[in-house]
Amino acid sequence: MIILPAIDLKDGKCVRLRQGRADEVTVYGSDPVDMARHWADEGAQGLHIVDLDGAFTGHPVHTETIHAITKALTIPVQVGGGLRTDEDIRRLLDVGVARVVLGTRACVDPGALAPLVADFREQLAVGIDARNGMVQIRGWVEATETYAVDLAVQMAHIGVRTIIYTDVATDGMLKGPNVEGVRQLCARVTANVIASGGISSLDDVKRLAGLDAGNLFGAIVGKALYEGTVTLPELTAAAHHS
């Protein structure tokens, strides 16, 4: 299991939102490229970037900044937020992004994903954001009647290789991840799963790694790293030695 530091972009800055709320924002840096270099220097094996403005507006906003990050780093970068069209996906891949993350689009029109999966293969991931087990879309502001596990099974069935599972209720709260939700998801799909939301301590990472799920590929950590609750090397060691 690898640890992926999160860089959330809003108004050109690195921020974190509390439970995805646009009105509860904390700014952690004014230079996203510097922040990306910092995590790479700390030993990150990859980065998870969210274009928050893109998620809320429905189209990518920070493509130039993301391009600057991919040029500055040698580690893979995955990006989500507002990717509603094929052109949006291709533009990000063209600027050096290793994997794009589709969220709202996958839930609203899952049938249209099959040709995209065939085209982009490992370069395409689906982000499933859930609250109380139900999928949330459009920057977490709209609830659906779809169970996260059911959507994950559907995505894996059409060939999606990577699923990023975020528990919205725990995100940015530093209260620990939804380990049981991650366990259930990993048990139902063969795709790689990346866990996100609430990971704030070495114990959290050990609990996830302790699931011993062969397809639990990684964990995304944001606020805990920015608040200095834990360090990236500590988390990486915990992920590898559990």
How do the domains of the chain map onto residue ranges? 2-240
pLDDT, average across residues 210-215: 95
132 to 70, 111, 129, 146, 167: CA distances (angstroms): 35, 25, 10, 11, 8
Q: What pLDDT shows up at residue 143?
A: 82
Given 8, 51, 88, 204, the catalytic residue: 8
8 is catalytic: yes
Q: CB count, 10 Å around CB of 64?
A: 11
What integer pLDDT is reported at residue 21 of this predicted model?
77
Check: CB of residue 240 under 8 Å from CB of residue 3. Answer: no
pLDDT of residue 140: 60
As a whole number of angstroms, the distance between CA 242 and CA 236 comes to: 10
Concerning whether 53 is annotated as a catalytic residue, the answer is no
The yes-or-no verdict on residue 59 having pLDDT over 60 is yes
- Using pLDDT thresholds of 50, 70 and 90, give the confidence band for residue 18: confident
DSSP designation for 68: H
Which pLDDT belongs to residue 141? 67
Domain at 2-240: CATH architecture? Alpha-Beta Barrel (3.20)
Provide the pLDDT confidence category of residue 105 given band limits of 50, 70 and 90: confident
pLDDT 10s digits, 159-182: 999 999 998 887 767 788 999 999
| pLDDT > 70? residue 139 | no
State yes or no: pLDDT of 109 exceeds 90: no
Q: Which residue among the candidates 88, 129, 167, 204 is catalytic per the annotation?
A: 129
Q: Which two tokens stand for residue 124?
A: 């395409």
First to last CA, the chain: 10
Amino acid 20: pLDDT: 73
Q: Is-contact 1 216, C-beta < 8 A?
A: yes
